[in-house]
């Protein structure tokens, strides 16, 4: 007979990554299109992390788009 181990799920809380990472990008890269692109990427990363936390999704088309991303 096989013996299995039970491992509790890891819990994560919501963290705002946009403010500290945007501050870092602003201080590291000169103002311009490159800086704006990095800030957009930070916002996208924060959005994807928030969606990956396992929160239940609403039942409409925009939630499907976030799952397909």
pTM: 0.62
Whole-angstrom Cα distance, residue 67 to residue 57? 9
Structure tokens at 55: 């929160």
- What's the per-residue H, E or C state across 10-44? CCCCCCCCHHHHHHHHHHHCCCCHHHHHHHHHHHH
Q: For 9-66, how does the pLDDT look when each residue is reduced to its tens digit (9 = 90+)? A: 777 788 888 999 999 999 998 888 999 999 999 999 998 888 777 666 666 677 667 6
């Amino acid at each position: 007979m096989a013996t299995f181990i039970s491992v509790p799920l890891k819990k994560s809380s919501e963290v705002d990554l946009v403010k500290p990472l945007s501050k870092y990008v602003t201080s590291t890269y000169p103002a311009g299109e490159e800086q704006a692109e990095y800030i957009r990427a930070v916002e996208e990363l924060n959005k994807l992390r928030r969606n990956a936390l396992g929160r239940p999704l609403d039942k409409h088309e925009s939630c499907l788009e976030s799952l397909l991303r």
